[in-house]
Amino acid sequence: RCRTEYENKDEATKGDETTRKQFHAFVLFLAELYLNLEIKGTKGQVTRAEILQEGLRGLLNALFSNPVDSNLICAVKLLKLTGSVLEDAWKEKGKNDMEEMIQRIENVVLDANCSRDVKHMLLKLVELRSSNWGRVHGTTPHAEATPENDPNYFMNEPTFYTSDGVPFTAADPDYQEKYQELLEREDLFPYYEENGADLSGPGELYFDEIDDEMDPEIEEAYEKFCLESEHKRKQ
């Protein structure tokens, strides 16, 4: 069935709307088949069906040979789906087929009587290919950040103050000792005074009336903030 459809490709691209619609469905079916059908070699290596690879090139040529809107849209979908894989496979064989396809697209944009929107789609496809099909190659993985290998390791850490008002952070060599002293200080939350006047009532601490419980909405926002801060630190 696939072979019959393939052999009639040139006639199908010039057929009526229904014929072309059925043909385009066949084209995208072969594209999906090419991407998902894995063939295991005798040495355990996994490859894709070469006959489908060659078939897709023939289908692209047929679509570009009759550059009406629907054929060009199908070609764009086909290349968005398989372009990166096809180009890699062709390059492995030392072939320059994708360059030829891009040249055909550029010729269509210049000469064909297709709609403005379709020309825009074709140009976007050329742009996608120029960015290596949108693929981002990861850099060499780095070791986990530590105070020794990352100068910004403590950048987002809070600043604390000793009883003498001297600032310190987690980067300080005596951090643990100073932080423990901070926790043990009895005047961590002293009476609030302004202009020498004690604003709290007799024997009442300034924070006595503050509810220990967070509002659920505030608590959720606080947890989100903590998670984001942790994520940034790890980055």
pLDDT one-digit tens code per residue, 160-177: 666 666 666 666 666 667
Any idea what the CATH number is for the domain that residue 127 is in? Answer: 1.25.40.180
Residues 120 and 184 in one domain: no
* Domain total of the chain: 2
User: Which candidate, 72, 156, 87, 63, places its Cα nearest to that of 122?
Assistant: 72
Residues 117 and 90 in one domain: yes
Q: 26-35, 41-50, 116-125, 130-139: which range is least confident on average?
A: 130-139
Residues 164 and 129 in one domain: no
pLDDT one-digit tens code per residue, 142-163: 555 565 555 555 545 556 666 6
Contact in structure between 38 and 29 (CB atoms under 8 Å): no
What are the angstrom distances between the C-alpha of 126 and each of 12, 14, 76, 215? 26, 25, 10, 53
Residue 197 lies in a domain: no
- Note down the domain range covering 157: 153-189
Residues 107 and 162 in one domain: no
Residue 219 lies in a domain: no
What are the angstrom distances between the C-alpha of 8 and each of 1, 11, 26, 222? 11, 6, 11, 64
Residues 27 and 108 in one domain: yes
pTM of the model: 0.57
Residue 217 lies in a domain: no
pLDDT band at 44 (very low <50, low <70, confident <90, very high): confident
